[in-house]
Structure 1
Amino acid sequence: MTGTTGTTGSTDTDTAGSGSGTAGTAGTAGAEALRARALDALVAARDRTLRLTSCVADDDLTAQHSPLMSPLVWDLAHIGNQEEQWLWRAVAGRDALRPEIDSLYDAFEHPRAERPSLPLLPPGEARAYAADVRLRILDVLERAPLEGRPLLDAGFVFGMVAQHEQQHDETMLITHQLRKGPPVLSAPPPPVHRSGPLPAEVLVPGGPFTMGTSDEPWALDNERPAHRRDVPAFHIDTVPVTNGAYRAFVADGGYTDRRWWHPEGWAQIREHGIGAPLFWRRDGGQWLRRRFGVTEPVPEEEPVLHVSWYEADAYARWAGRRLPTEAEWEKAARYDPATGRSRRHPWGDADPGPEHANLGQRHLGPAAAGSYPEGASPLGVRQLIGDVWEWTASDFLPYPGFTAFPYKEYSEVFFGPEHKVLRGGSFAVDAVACRGTFRNWDLPVRRQIFAGFRTARSAELD
């Protein structure tokens, strides 16, 4: 995506797909249902964008709060520019509205650290530009056929644009977390779910399962095609690793013991003096964290957040375990042993609801470990969707039969050992950009993203 990414690989790219359970247009009624779904997705994304950019003054919008992130005003105009390029130009076939700004908002042409020095549109002009494009696009959506071209089939391009905006909303939320100053965002805490004691881990049976998808209408190219993958039996944590569990690693000298660390990770923590998750600090006898401008005690029951792949890997080694592979994670999330099929989501094929997962910035942090029992997988694994992105052991690589779409810069240029795969989404991810097959990726050093992890072990070690 995240680039996410934005926050991660998937959210820093300039196009993306999105999830939908609707298959095909199925005549006029189906086409109208797709239009309604696309409209809802576009409106929800824009509402969130406006919330994230209207809560601060213009000088905050133009400031770069971290060299890892763009100024918020860049994201705002970039969202409008991508919408113009894909929907106004590519779909409607109309002339460019602002061709002179295309290069300014090309994420591949200008690294984030350089973007504040560009002649960006000022906040008022960026807002007006994005609003003007959106008004034109609503007419395009009403008139465009939703079949006959790969970009239009099942409304893919509209879902792609909505997901792109939501991914940049997650990116902007990360910028808000990095921003200094008093809090400007608020949300209720996640609901408390009590369902009794849970087992520490779940056994996932060995054997083949279907990984990826070939029939999810708004899925990204890197999620395709569906293919059979044989996975030996393994155990996986029932819930993500918590702050309390991670604190034990810190207290045991985990950051000072070279045995647990990948060599590159050890070099990172030594060079930068890292001794705890990002935003944690020690105050006397307790750990505190900063969260969207608020300093508070680290809650032991929440999944740990803001750790790099290297930190997750070191913890797993310290605990005598390992990170799950991407295939293991997806099998734990989707495989139904009663039917042998792979579900869209852990709970089934229905779109995510508030009872299933912590998504969409409804809350400004993860829920306590063990929450959302209605979102559990058939095997009983909790919180696989939402709350925190989960690092896996796997490099970001194409599936067998991969075909780049709509262009190779979305996924193909990121394939390789440099990027690690994250799965599951976080509290900052919208449901339109999250499903059981969704793949995110980022550099293993990244800590500002809303990432945690869970651990696994091979069943053959029993």
Structure 2
Amino acid sequence: MQETPTTQDGADDLRNALSADFRRVRAFSERLCEPLVTEDYGLQTVVEASPPKWHLAHVSWFYETFLLRPFLAGYRVFHPRFEYLFNSYYEQTGAGFWPRAERGLLSRPTVAEVYDYRHHVDAAMLRLLAECNASDWPRVAMRLQIGLNHEQQHQELLVTDIKRHFAYNPLRPAYIQDLPQSPIADPVPLGWRAFEGGVVSLGLETSGPHEAFGYDNERPRHRAFLEPFALADRPVTNGEYLEFIGDGGYENPALWLSDGWAEVQARGWRCPLYWEQVDGAWQLMTLSGMRPLNPAEPLCHLSYYEAEAFATWAGKRLPTEAEWEHAAEEADITGNFVDDGWLHPRPAPEGEGLKQLFGDVWEWTGSAYLPYPGYRAPAGALGEYNGKFMSNQMVLRGGSCATSLDHIRPTYRNFFYPVERWQFKGFRLAETLR
């Protein structure tokens, strides 16, 4: 969120800015939960989607574990067992963690107690920010920036997990009844943007006086060679995916990777997640309840396997993450984010150039989630944040309608298992130029 300071005045400015960011980010998590009723907070309908109250507590656990315990003298933990209940996957903290699949089985602590926990941590964090000495401040500032970005990740998960839980309910309840929606329309025509390729630089700078915040998996900056390529100027739409379905896309094994075809058969997939046919017409579940399918909107909630099968059907491919980042490097970070309040993808606008690189839907790439050349995970428990997941997952880029605008950047690497669908995931097509 902030750049590394080079002077004492810069350090003071950073301290003030991070204090303001802390208040803002913490308040937004609670604002996202305002539409919920008490019964909603403990829902866990599938393993990958956690209960809202767990998210609220876990992000507080993060500050308590990595900032308050090491740096605030005399800090009193809110509850000694919360270290175990609200740890997600950090092995090196030594406390262990409650199984992910069983987070929804805990009626206690109550929702009220979780909010008390948050407010206890908030008060202590503000004290730490006011009292932190100069020798500790560089480490505190670094960890706080990670903590704020970590909470923003969980804000996105709050939105997507609530949608997953509500879609499980046959009543198809609305999280927010009157969210805005786009008029039903046909997609804007698909165009292409060509790139020359060659040797390009990717990732964030590893060090420097004005080093921007980024996760360790975005570093070090390195070179890559790209063949000439072209990217579609917008993501694939619902209307285009309907053509794939109508052409027997889910019945044709020739279009699918072996693992993808096995998942289609085992899970009975015949359309993206949240799509339903009602009286012969396609509808989809949204955070405002059920809506008619809009052909112009970017396609979302589908697995890597489905994206790859569509690309094969269309005679194209998915972009690599290097191609995507190179194309996005000079683009303005504008788009439909959680800040805009739509909580749903919007149709691409008319006009020239690449559209919707940021916001609306995360874009599957054809790249496995692997370390960059020269990468080393940081020492200690915080080194578990990204590095240990560099296996069997695929990279997504660009953010979604559930991502905060100030959380995303061209180098940001999201990653999920290829079978997962509950996030706002879509894709755009690519091709190699000869």
Scaled by the length of structure 2, the TM-score of the pair is: 0.88
Instruction: Quote the Cα distance in structure 1 between the aligned partners of 2:224 and 2:388.
Output: 24
User: In the alignment, which of 332, 337, 348 is matched to residue 359 of structure 1?
Assistant: 337
Q: Is the 8 A contact 2:75 2:124 kept in 1?
A: no
Partner of 1:420: 394
Partner of 1:25: 5
- 1:457 offset after TM fit, Å? 0.6
Runs of 4+ in 1 over 6 A off after TM superposition: 146-149
Instruction: Quote the Cα distance in structure 2 between the aligned partners of 1:145 and 1:186.
Output: 48
Q: Which runs of 5+ in 1 are unaligned?
A: 1-19, 335-342
- 1:139 offset after TM fit, Å? 2.1
Please list, as runs of the form range in 1=range in 2, the aligned pairs for 1:45-444 lying within 5 A after superposition: 45-97=25-77, 98-108=79-89, 109-118=97-106, 120-144=108-132, 151-152=139-140, 155-178=141-164, 179=166, 180=169, 181-185=172-176, 189=180, 200-214=191-205, 215=207, 216-334=211-329, 343=330, 346-347=331-332, 352=333, 356-362=334-340, 363-370=342-349, 380-405=353-378, 407-416=382-391, 418-444=392-418
Instruction: Quote the Cα distance in structure 2 between the aligned partners of 1:286 and 1:198.
Output: 24
Query: SS at the partner of 2:154?
Result: helix
- 1:162 offset after TM fit, Å? 1.0
AA paired with 1:442?
Answer: F
Instruction: Quote the Cα distance in structure 2 between the aligned partners of 1:190 and 1:266.
Output: 34
Instruction: Quote the Cα distance in structure 1 between the aligned partners of 2:133 and 2:361.
Output: 37
AA paired with 1:412?
Answer: G
AA paired with 1:232?
Answer: E
- 1:23 offset after TM fit, Å? 3.1
AA paired with 1:246?
Answer: Y
Cα deviation per residue 1:413-445 (whole Å; 9 max; x = unaligned)?
A: 1112x1011111101111232111010101000
- 1:148 offset after TM fit, Å? 6.5
Cα deviation per residue 1:263-309 (whole Å; 9 max; x = unaligned)?
A: 11111111111101101011234211010241111111111010100
Q: Which runs of 5+ in 2 are unaligned?
A: 90-96
Structure of greater relative contact order (alpha carbons < 8 Å, 6+ residues apart):
1
Note closer, same or farther for the CA distance 1:128–1:149 as it changes in structure 2 (3 Å cut).
closer
Query: SS at the partner of 2:371?
Result: coil
- 1:115 offset after TM fit, Å? 1.5
- 1:176 offset after TM fit, Å? 1.6
Query: SS at the partner of 2:338?
Result: coil
Cα deviation per residue 1:22-42 (whole Å; 9 max; x = unaligned)?
A: 432132432233234323332
Q: Is the 8 A contact 1:104 1:118 kept in 2?
A: no
- Comparing 53-62 with 301-310, greater Cα deviation is found at 53-62
Instruction: Quote the Cα distance in structure 1 between the aligned partners of 2:224 and 2:71.
Output: 37
AA paired with 2:422?
Answer: Q
Q: Is the 8 A contact 1:156 1:217 kept in 2?
A: no
Partner of 1:451: 425
AA paired with 1:161?
Answer: G
Instruction: Quote the Cα distance in structure 2 between the aligned partners of 1:246 and 1:88.
Output: 49
Q: Is the 8 A contact 2:188 2:296 kept in 1?
A: no
AA paired with 2:38?
Answer: D
- Comparing 177-186 with 420-429, greater Cα deviation is found at 177-186
Note closer, same or farther for the CA distance 1:63–1:198 as it changes in structure 2 (3 Å cut).
closer
Instruction: Quote the Cα distance in structure 2 between the aligned partners of 1:186 and 1:87.
Output: 38
Q: Is the 8 A contact 2:188 2:348 kept in 1?
A: no
How many residues align structurally?
A: 412
Partner of 2:94: none
Q: Is the 8 A contact 2:190 2:234 kept in 1?
A: no
Query: SS at the partner of 1:62?
Result: coil
Q: Percent of pairs identical after alignment?
A: 34
RMSD: 2.4
Instruction: Quote the Cα distance in structure 1 between the aligned partners of 2:46 and 2:296.
Output: 29
Scaled by the length of structure 1, the TM-score of the pair is: 0.83
Query: SS at the partner of 2:33?
Result: helix
Note closer, same or farther for the CA distance 1:405–1:41 as it changes in structure 2 (3 Å cut).
farther
- Comparing 421-430 with 36-45, greater Cα deviation is found at 36-45
Partner of 2:92: none
